[in-house]
Amino acid sequence: MSLYAISDLHLSIGEPEKTMEVFRGWQDYTYRLKKNWNAVVEEEDTVVIAGDLSWAMKLDKTFDDLNFLNNELNGNKIILKGNHDLWWDTVTKMNKYFEEQNFDKIKILHNNFYSYNDTAICGTRGWFFEDGAGDKKILNREAGRLDTSIKMAKNEGFTEIAVFLHYPPLYGDQQCDEIMEVLNRHEIESIYYGHIHGSGAHNAFRGEKDGAKFTLISSDFNDFTPIFIKK
């Protein structure tokens, strides 16, 4: 068994008019994703998907995209919310829908954590660098969700923790202080994030800072291939 990660699949099988193929580097991306994914991921593996899974606007419009994810891509999937996942609903409603459609290989990371051998998989959407009052409220809520996820893992005795975020906590010369405070306080050493595409990757922080390693997992940045994390 192995653990992998990817983000920003931006599937539009059920919403073909929203295809990402209009952007440079995204031609035939659904085909490329399936080919590259299944070349490295085995059925017993686990893949964390850090947001922006589907362009669907409503949960009941996600069927084609989630069916593709569940039945045509190998492995078990753990998903968290991205800024374009407007279909996202309450965990109760999503789990009910997944059960009704027999999407048995998809789990939701939201105010919880999952274990992979001796590693805890924690995370939340996060938020970007905005200053409005509404944005501040969302950011504080996201920082709280991240803190909750990590604390739950620690309470279960996990010391090795991998954090997955949709938004980058570091970008260029900017830092999301609220998210970074949680990461630093809990001494998290492995952080994976998405959201950044195209030329934006030039400013995406990749590498080590204060003992933590930051990895960009956007699908187009990694040739639509899940990146290996560990056995």
Q: How far apart are CA 89 and CA 148, in angstroms?
A: 20
Q: Could you report the per-residue pLDDT of 69-116, keeping only the tens digit for each?
A: 999 999 999 999 999 999 999 999 999 999 999 999 999 999 999 999
Q: List, for residues 106-149, the tens digit of each pLDDT value.
A: 999 999 999 999 999 999 999 876 555 558 889 999 999 999 99
Q: Where are the domains of the chain?
A: 3-230
Distance separating the N- and C-terminal Cα atoms of the chain: 6
21 vs 24: CA distance, rounded Å: 7
Q: Which CATH class is domain 3-230?
A: alpha beta
The mean pLDDT value of the chain amounts to: 95
User: Which single residue is written with the structure tokens 């923790």?
Assistant: 161
Q: What is the DSSP string of 119-175?
A: EEEEEE----S--SHHHHHHHHHHHHHHHHHHHHHHHTT--EEEEEESS-SEETTEE
